[in-house]
A and B are shown apart, each in its own frame.
Chain A
Amino acid sequence: MTAALARLAPFLFAALALALWEAAVRAAGIPAYILPAPSAIGLAFASAPGLLLSSLATTLLVSGLALLAGCVLGVGLALVMASSRWARAAVLPWAIMLQVTPVVAIAPLIIVWVGDPFLALVVCATIVAFFPIFSNTATGLASAPAELADLFRLSGAGRWQTLLLLRVPAAVPLFLAGLRISGGLALVGAVVAEFVAGSGGFASGLAYRILESGYRLQIPRMFAALALLSFAGITINAALGSLERRVLRRWGKVA
């Protein structure tokens, strides 16, 4: 009973908050261009669902591709760093520099350099998404207990055997934790880059819809796009979280 209630609680809270919001807007007579009522937002979505949903698909595609690219880059660089102390010293400062430079600041350059707007968005989102995967994987690769490493040495294991049979599997739990953080960041990166790019292109994402609706004072549609964006973020987080739990159970960890 209490467990079911705990599951329902976020939805009950949302319903209550939306009802209060609707009532307050109506009672105070707040104009829709300042704060639209939830019903108006729903109507705005229903009036052009294809437009918003295709924008959602674009944003999700950019985030997904960025997450994929971030995985390849992050895991690849972590493996390079694990291969030697020299490589670690060479790579780490640059990876950190990429992390601490705000993507808003480099986005204009990337948009100029890359040319293709869609690709430019993916590159920006990748830069944001890459670091948690990279740093978690690098930490994970170094996290195997020293005694297990000794055991591998005693059995005459080579570098590759130790990497594949010990260090890589030992890194999986931390990699997954990084992946989950990066999933959210990929979405943030995609949105920020699109704000900076500010142009429609062949298929505009949700961030562009928000900007456009703002310019045209279509505030209810702006809120609808915003709601879809949160929904996308929650979905990405939940999907990666469930992947993490499923793998960790097999990895002998209770999550």
Chain B
Amino acid sequence: MLVLERAGRRFPDGTQALRDISIRVNPGDFIALLGPSGCGKSTLLRLMAGLDQPDAGRILGRPDQIGYVFQDPTLLPWATAAENIRLPLRLRHMPKAASAVLVRQALAQVGLAEFADVRPPSLSGGMRMRVSIARALVQRPPLLLMDEPFAALDEFTRHGLQDELLALTATAGCATVFVTHSAYEAAFLARRILVMSSRPGRIVAELAADLPTSGRRDSAAYHALVARITAAALEARSA
């Protein structure tokens, strides 16, 4: 699907944010982009979304519809949960009757069916993030991009949302690229883990994961994978 060929990005102030990034995202992939703060992970995600353009290399096969989840839920505070989820459909001029069905399904999928008419300030942090995820998935995009969406949540909420996200993306069948700085999160969620180094941001290692679907967090394979990812990340830092 989405292919990056030796993509690079230099900011106007001369900083080389990304260099020689080559990634092929396949349908149904779950890729974690792991790296320290400031390594250009978010910039890379923006390139993938088309919100920013590379000044070297090229990006091919970007789908028309892309779901994007930011670190903040970035909801419209004056609109209800249902209205927030309907936003991408509304912007693409989908008739209200058709979009209402999709919105109701999306709300039910993230377990917020009863909160359709509640505005964001009355929702908890975890609920707001679920609205944000439902909004990204409501248009059934083939590609879902997530920029450290759970970083600001408490640990229990985060674990719950990680479980839900795995189920949601498996049902939706979309490819997911998930930016994180946590080796635990990358190991738990992804099937492919790309480790980045900073200044300039490059991909220095790729690890494959094949964990059991149930009881993942307790499995020995999970802990071994976390150790391998941590070792690769440390190596990237000293390189």
A199 lies within 8 A of chain B by Cβ: no
Contact check, A252 vs B120: say whether CB atoms are below 8 A apart: yes
Number of CB contacts from chain A to chain B under 8 A: 51
Contact check, B51 vs A153: say whether CB atoms are below 8 A apart: yes
Q: DSSP class of A's interface residues: helix, strand, loop or mixed? A: helix
A145 lies within 8 A of chain B by Cβ: yes
B188 lies within 8 A of chain A by Cβ: no
Measured CA separation A37–B91 after assembly (Å):
66
Q: For B78, what are the chain A residues with a Cβ–Cβ distance below 8 Å? A: 169, 172, 250-252
Measured CA separation A145–B71 after assembly (Å):
13
B32 lies within 8 A of chain A by Cβ: no
Measured CA separation A254–B46 after assembly (Å):
33
Shortest C-beta distance, A146 to chain B (Å), equals: 10
Contact check, B91 vs A252: say whether CB atoms are below 8 A apart: no
Residue from A148, A155, A156, A250 in contact with B74 in the complex, judged by beta carbons closer than 8 Å: A148
B38 lies within 8 A of chain A by Cβ: no
Measured CA separation A172–B78 after assembly (Å):
10
A206-255 CB contacts (< 8 Å) to partner B:
250-254
A166 lies within 8 A of chain B by Cβ: yes
Q: For A155, what are the chain B residues with a Cβ–Cβ distance below 8 Å? A: 87-88, 91-92, 139
Q: For A166, what are the chain B residues with a Cβ–Cβ distance below 8 Å? A: 76
Shortest C-beta distance, A249 to chain B (Å), equals: 10
Q: Interface digits, B83-118 against A, CB 8 Å rule (1 contact, 0 not)?
A: 000011011100000000000000000000000000
Contact check, B74 vs A151: say whether CB atoms are below 8 A apart: yes
Measured CA separation A148–B135 after assembly (Å):
12
Query: Interface size (A, Cβ < 8 Å)?
Result: 21
Residue of B nearest to A144 (CB): B76
Shortest C-beta distance, A174 to chain B (Å), equals: 13
Residue from B70, B77, B90, B120 in contact with A147 in the complex, judged by beta carbons closer than 8 Å: B70
Contact check, A251 vs B91: say whether CB atoms are below 8 A apart: no
Among A151, A161, A172, A253, find the residue whose CB has the most chain B CB atoms closer than 10 A: A151
Q: Interface digits, A153-195 against B, CB 8 Å rule (1 contact, 0 not)?
A: 1111100010001100100100000000000000000000000
Q: For B72, what are the chain A residues with a Cβ–Cβ distance below 8 Å? A: 145, 147
Shortest C-beta distance, A71 to chain B (Å), equals: 20
Contact check, B87 vs A150: say whether CB atoms are below 8 A apart: no
Q: What would 19 more interface pairs be, CB under 8 Å, given A161-B91, A253-B77? A: A145-B72, A145-B74, A147-B70, A147-B74, A148-B76, A150-B49, A151-B68, A154-B51, A154-B68, A155-B87, A155-B88, A156-B91, A157-B91, A165-B87, A166-B76, A169-B78, A250-B78, A252-B77, A252-B121
* 30 A-B pairs in the complex with CB atoms less than 8 angstroms apart: A145-B72, A145-B74, A147-B70, A147-B72, A148-B74, A150-B46, A150-B49, A150-B51, A151-B70, A151-B74, A152-B91, A153-B51, A154-B51, A154-B88, A155-B87, A155-B88, A155-B92, A155-B139, A156-B91, A161-B91, A165-B90, A165-B91, A166-B76, A169-B76, A251-B78, A252-B77, A252-B78, A252-B119, A253-B77, A254-B121
